Amino acid sequence: MTGYLVSAVVVATTLTAGDLSAGVRTCVSGDGTLFSQENKGSGHCEAAVHPIRFFEMHTHSGPQRNTGLGQSVLVSENVSKQTLSSSPFTSASRMVPALSYHDLSPGMRAKGWNIPNKGDIQLLQVDVSYVPAGDGPHLATDHHFMNGARQALVVAVMAAAKATGYNPRFLHVNLSIPMVAGSFHRGVRVDGGSAGAVWAVAVVSAILGDEVREDLCFSGTIDMNLTIGPVGGLEDKIEGCHMLPQFQELMVPAGQGTFSLKEKGMGRSINVTEVSTLAEAYEVATGQYLRFAQ
């Protein structure tokens, strides 16, 4: 990345597997669709399944705890290895922006308090590598990511696999906030699915070997139909995009590029582009067509 300097420091880590507790599981059928099913404690969906191994990374300098996800996502054993690619690819890291917005409580606003800039931006690192044993997908996050974000990562990875015709059992994806300027960003928490689409783009680009633009912000959800879904707070999030000078374009879900948002973007030299599918988003983000892996 040439637009900004990110100093990544490798630290010793331990991995703690998330609990697979009773409740409702999300399963993935052979055609890539998601469905929910009651977990009766057998550890299986109706078809033979393989659980996604979800980990949380911890540095040795901090407290260690179980992730306690309470939900698992399962991949059908019946996914045909003849119809999906499992070719090795070069490990890749993608630095992607995550936009957020925050506001004061109604009580504080009633007292006259105000936040001049409600938008914010955080650079996230998505590391994607090949799992030779084919016993994945293995997903990992650091402690900054809450349950909503972790579940969004699951959907993003599965959507990326579906879009490229790639067997997800050969994927390892790690999502983290890298240490920058000596800070671990201890107060930062990432939750929800509004960055799911950009995570899917990052995973696809790693599988296919395409570079991702360094001047592009993106906010949008992703589903297993490869549709980009709506998000909130875009008129504040564009302020977050404007905080770092290398970003010149904001990609948003179709129908959310309002006149007001585009006008605000023009005043900040940020072009607003609408996309409705992962294929459209991928072409904007990489300049390449979304395609099946070899």
Rounded to whole angstroms, the Cα distance separating 170 from 85 reads 9
What is the helix (H) or strand (E) element at residue 239, kind and residue range? helix 234-242
Is the peptide bond between 230 and the residue preceding it cis, with omega within 30 degrees of 0?
no
Number of C-beta neighbours around residue 234 at 10 A: 26
Is this structure's pTM higher than 0.95?
Answer: no
Q: What is the CATH number of domain 89-286?
A: 3.30.230.10
Rounded to 10 deg, the angle between the 278-286 and 196-208 helix axes is: 60
Please report the DSSP string for 240-275 in residue order. HHHTSTT--EEEEETT---HHHHHHHHHTT-EEEEE
pLDDT in tens, 152-199: 999 999 999 999 999 999 999 999 998 764 444 556 788 899 999 999
Of the candidates 32, 163, 164, 157, the residue with the CA atom closest to the CA atom of residue 85: 164
Provide the residue count of the chain.
Answer: 294
The two most distant CA atoms of the chain are separated, in Å, by 64
Cβ(217)–Cβ(247) below 8 Å = yes
Q: Which residues of the chain have pLDDT under 50?
A: 1-25, 30-34, 36, 38-44, 46-49, 58-74, 76-82, 181-184
The reported pLDDT for the residue numbered 27 is: 56
Rounded to 10 deg, the angle between the 234-242 and 259-267 helix axes is: 20
The reported pLDDT for the residue numbered 120 is: 82
The reported pLDDT for the residue numbered 44 is: 45
The sheet carrying 249-253 orders its strands as 216-218, 249-253, 271-275
Rounded to whole angstroms, the Cα distance separating 98 from 124 reads 7
